[in-house]
Structure 1
Amino acid sequence: MKIKSLLAKPFASYIYKQIQKGMATAIQDQDAILKMLIKTGRNTQFGKDSGLDKVTNYEEYKQAVPIRDYEQIRPYIDQIKEGKHNILWKGKPLYFAKTSGTTSGTKYIPITKDSVDNHFSTARNAALCYVAETGNTRFFDGKLIFLSGSPVLERVADIPTGRLSGIANHQIPAYLRSNQLPSYETNCIEDWETKLNKIVDETINKDMTLISGIPPWIQMYFDELMRRSGKKIGDLFPNFSVMMQGGVNFEPYKARLFESIGRKVDCVELYPASEGFFAFQDTLKAEGLLLNTNDGIFFEFVPAGEIFNQNPTRLSLRDVKVGENYALIVNSNAGLWGYNIGDTIRFVSTNPYRIVVTGRIKHFISAFGEHVIGEEVEQAMKHAADEENVRVTEFTVAPFVSSDAGKSYHEWFIEFEQEPANMQAFIQKLDDNLRQKNVYYDDLIAGNILEPLKITRIRKNGFIDYMKSIGKLGGQNKVPRLSNDRKIAEELQEWKREGS
């Protein structure tokens, strides 16, 4: 056993015990974080504008600080970009995490001296919880790959600025640098296809033991490795034992990833975002991700159906319920206040507080009043694919609103790796599954207002080519699972299979 794996066990045991202690004090920790945020925020420009000096508790905080999106926080970001200090948080940010917004263009999310540890210690803690539970430390002795964006950072108001995954490359601890792949030069390549080929060049003959990234981009890496080697990933990398993944729901990609590996490996799921590292899988034995309740973020939860109301209900952690769908609101030591990150989550446990991510607020279909969300279509697809022995590479769903005598319907754009033996039976099961998940959709079908869903097949690598065509191939980008309009649907017409 090498020194890294030898030292990992006692450190993992220590961190795991600290995390378990934190499970019991989550409510108190959240209360303390809110007090700390208010105390520090009073001396910022935002705090003065919001009257934080008069705020002493959560009820007063909700009155002083309304829920906001990026457009409403942008004027403060613009002041920081002009070089001003003490705007959203004390001093100025260490970094700007640069991310694409659907309505706001490029967003600049601050990462401060106080918040930076949240981003980069949480992934470490997830790995150490895994070690403490399983005893597996061997992966520390092999090569580790983090499929990420370029670490090359530009400067905005003299603040290093780039993709979160690229910023993360600068925070990897020194003791892992010798294990890390790909090389810095390869990681700096912007074009994803060129970069992917170089990553495969550098790793195909190495002892890869941990692979981490967003599932669709891990799959692309696996596909190229298999094409070149003619081997399953588990045979190519016999010591590969841990896959860490996040950024999208794992379930739609799980079957194909494991088929590519050819054997079992342990999976550790993460919930990172530019706005903070919100949750991580602390155990392989229970559903959901442990909410990060003691790391500089005060969480709020709005019932998902109220998020667009003028005065929605806002709940702190003490008032949440298992099974409810909530929009996630964050207040943090990065200088985010009442910030709607756009995700919806559901608690699967409150002892401890574990969540699953159920979708994006803006990614839904309600063209006919059904309000179908990402979790529902993903579960419907998973069950239908399992029942019909189907493998799906990627899919997205959009409404088709009929302008003539024909009925409207949901159109599913699907790239199959293995098609159904009976397409009509697959469509029927997919539609039935969605009807069971969403009572409003069921009513529309039963009432003969909507036709059952229709499938448009996308050719092999069609989604990759589509993402490339819009300049979003690789990095942290992913295909939206749902749209409430036809924009993506119309763009995908170019990549339809013949006969679809």
Structure 2
Amino acid sequence: MPFQFINSIISWFLKKRKHQMELFLKYPVDVQDELLMKLISTAKNTEFGKQYNFISIVNYSDFSKQVPIQQYESIEPLIERCRKGEQNLLWPTKIKWFAKSSGTTNAKSKFIPVSDEALEDCHFKAGKDMLCLYINNNEDAKLFTGKGLRLGGSSAVYEDNNSYFGDLSAIIIENMPFWADYSSAPKQEVALMGEWETKMEAIIDETIHENITSLVGVPSWMLVLLNRVLEKTGKNNILEVWPNLEVYFHGGVNFNPYKEQYKKLIPKEDFRYYETYNASEGFFAIQDKNDSDELLLILDYGIFYEFIPMSEFDGENSKAIPLAEVKENVNYAMVITTNGGLWRYLIGDTIKFTSIKPHRIKITGRTKHHINVFGEELIIENTEEALKKACDKTQAQVKDYTVAPIFMDGKQKGAHEWFIEFDKAPENLSFFTEMLDDALKNTNSDYEAKRYNNMTLTMPTIHQAREGLFYDWLKTKGKLGGQHKVPRLSNKREFIEELKNLQ
């Protein structure tokens, strides 16, 4: 059969990359050090390189002393000049693509420069590596006998002053090699449609009669698509629509709250879930083992990594350490230097290492998406774990949630206020609240201390969100689809007040 032959050829080609990975697995620090010096040498004559005297940098110690840690605001003037056509500012090769970052719900967008090197040596290489790792772990994989359903961002690519911007997923689709487009669905013009709800229907119409063997996309939005597929086809589960479906490559949000819903939609014992960790700024890590919740940090994508212990985090004034100095189970903010022209850039994510040989990580949250109004240091990892425990004890299923502080007022003590949209609500919301509170105490000692005898924090307040509340809220923001996410934790009440008004 020709499809089987194509599957064998592509699988053989992808597997070859595994031998190259052995180099950074064996010599991680050497690979990273060599990469850093190559990035510095390449960019020494850029405006940024001259400003920070790249030509005099001979090692990591020089680099960390001479180049300050950056946040987006620090380099925005250079990026804006680049968007207007100036070149050789942050990176020497021509940059015409900018990924409009949708990782935040702030009105102000970020435009992340995407060089040709970042596309080829990072994003496209990572896409192949994702398939390579899966195929190496699953010898009987038949991915290429069918197509992969990709669910990207909600925006088309727009032109501005001879530069182009849009969701990273849209930029990748625009630049995809023909063979990748051939093996994917929907076709390019549908994948790049700007209006999310229209695009959703077009994707379904195009794919329900295809042989779909894999899914790629953010769990929250893929769930919306799959449920809509069942509505439209009248089938009981997704395997009745796509019987050869074998793997779902997901990323963007924590998968734990969605896992049980996917198992019901795709009732297949040996169905695989593979997590990836990428952003507009780069592709960082891929699950490299079946049934694992750890991600292998990939060290040869043109990205040099540094880490700031969150216990010492102070934004741009923080002191970062290189990969050689990291320890297991410490919460770090991640700093990246890339072949797209980002230098010591604080990406805003926090991770911890679960293993040093090799370097495997878990994503723990965001540097800004946490609650620390009362010294409780609540991070997303805490809330996700506590929700899972509370759901296990009450047979509930959570679809979406957000948390904000209730500030102290006179004699009134503080608390946390939750909006939770359930797929399956608990029979008793008060008992669920108790279980969640207990789980948070067990997960986070700072939270437990503030909750002791209601000293600082009282019992959380939980509102059961009406069906579709978060969807409607994102719609009012023009943030439906793809990479857009509900902010989980905030030190302010802005999001929760808007939700209350829509409830």
Shorter chain as normaliser: what TM range? over 0.9
Partner of 2:83: 81
Q: Specify the SS of the correspondent of 1:336.
A: coil
Residue number among 109, 121, 128 corresponding to 1:124 in the alignment: 128
Residue 65 (structure 1) aligns with: 67
How far apart in 1 are the matches of 2:437 and 2:241?
39
The answer to whether structure 1 residue 114 and structure 2 residue 120 are counterparts is no
For 2:6, the equivalent position in structure 1 comes to 4
Pick closer, same or farther for the CA change 1:50–1:346 going to 2, 3 Å. same
Residues 270 and 281 in structure 1, CA contact (< 8 A), matched pair in contact too: yes
CA distance in structure 1 between the partners assigned to 2:82 and 2:300 by the alignment: 27
Name the stretch that deviates more: 330-339 or 97-106. Answer: 97-106
Correspondence list, 1:56-455, <5 A? 56-100=58-102, 105-117=108-120, 118-149=122-153, 152-230=156-234, 231-264=236-269, 265-284=271-290, 286-308=292-314, 311-448=317-454, 449-455=456-462
Q: Deviations over 1:129-179 (max 9, x none)?
A: 110111133121112111012574222342232210001112333223333
Distance apart, 1:313 and its partner CA: 2.5
Which of residues 50, 54, 75 in structure 2 aligns to 1:52?
Answer: 54
Contact 1:141–1:179 (Cα < 8 Å) also in 2: no
Mapped to 1, the partners of 2:84 and 2:412 lie a distance apart of 55
Q: CA contact under 8 A between 1:151 and 1:169: conserved in structure 2?
A: no
Contact 2:257 2:397 in 1 (8 A): no
Helix, strand or coil at the partner of 1:43? coil
TM-score (norm. length: structure 1)? 0.95
CA positional deviation for 1:188 = 3.0
CA contact (8 A) 2:71 2:316 kept: no
Counterpart code for 1:401: F
Distance 1:253 1:11 in 2: 33
2:344 and 2:237 map into 1 onto residues whose CA distance is 46
Rounded to whole Å, the distance in 1 between the matches of 2:166 and 2:395 is: 41
> How far 1:53 moved relative to its partner?
2.0
Distance verdict in 2 for CA 1:401–1:221, change over 3 Å: same
CA RMSD for the aligned pairs?
1.7
Q: CA deviation at 1:447?
A: 4.0
1:64 Cα offset (Å): 1.0
Aligned-partner SS, 1:337: coil
The answer for unaligned runs of 5 or more in structure 2 is: none
Opposite residue 39 of structure 1, the aligned amino acid is S
Deviations 1:320-340 (A, max 9, x none): 001000000000111100100
CA distances 1:215-262 after superposition (whole Å, capped 9, x unpaired): 001000011012222321122211111101111111122111222223
| Cα distance in 2 between the residues matched to 1:321 and 1:150 | 38
Please state whether the residue corresponding to 2:283 is helix, strand or coil.
Answer: strand
**Which residue pairs with 2:17 in the alignment?**
15
How far apart in 1 are the matches of 2:96 and 2:354?
35
The CA distance in 2 between the partners of 1:22 and 1:126, in whole Å, is 16
- 1:349 CA displacement: 0.7
User: Quick one: percent identity of the two aligned structures?
Assistant: 37
Deviation per CA, 1:296-347: give whole Å up to 9, x if none. 1110000113222664221100000010000000001111001001000111
Deviation of residue 79 (structure 1)?
Answer: 2.2
Letter matched to residue 108 of structure 2: G
Q: Secondary structure at the match of 2:36?
A: helix
In structure 2, distance between residues paired with 1:261 and 1:312:
45
User: 1:120, 1:171 within 8 Å by CA — same for their partners in 2?
Assistant: no
Given the two structures, how large is their TM-score scaled by the length of structure 2?
0.95
Report if aligned partners of 1:8, 1:137 keep a CA contact under 8 Å in 2: no
Return closer, same or farther for 1:453/1:55 CA change in 2, 3 Å cut-off: same
Worse-superposed segment, 336-345 or 1-10: 1-10
Cα-to-partner distance string for 1:16-70 (whole Å, 9 max, x where unaligned)? 2222332112111000011111212211100111122222111111111111111
In the alignment, is the contact (CA less than 8 A) between 2:119 and 2:172 conserved in 1?
Answer: no
3-state SS, counterpart of residue 20 of structure 2: helix
| C-alpha distance in structure 2 between counterparts of 1:29 and 1:336, whole Å | 19
Pick closer, same or farther for the CA change 1:189–1:170 going to 2, 3 Å: closer
The 1:484/1:13 distance shift into structure 2, 3 A limit, reads same
CA contact (8 A) 1:427 1:455 kept: yes
- 1:263-287: CA deviations, max 9, x gaps? 3420111111111101111221544
Contact 1:394 1:414 in 2 (8 A): yes
Unaligned residue ranges in structure 1 (runs of 5+): none
Distance 1:150 1:492, change over 3 A: closer
Distance (whole Å) between structure 1 residues aligned to residue 397 and residue 84 of structure 2: 50
Residue correspondences, number: 496
Going from structure 1 to structure 2, the CA distance change for 1:151 and 1:394 (only over 3 Å counts) comes to closer
Which whole-Å CA distance do the structure 1 matches of 2:459 and 2:21 have between them? Answer: 47
CA deviation after TM superposition for structure 1 residue 495, in Å? 3.9
With over 3 angstroms needed to count, the CA separation of the structure-2 counterparts of 1:149 and 1:28, relative to structure 1, is same
CA distance in 2, matches of 1:207, 1:115: 31
Q: Partner letter of residue 79 of structure 1?
A: R
User: Which letter maps to 2:461?
Assistant: K
Partner of 1:365, secondary structure, is coil
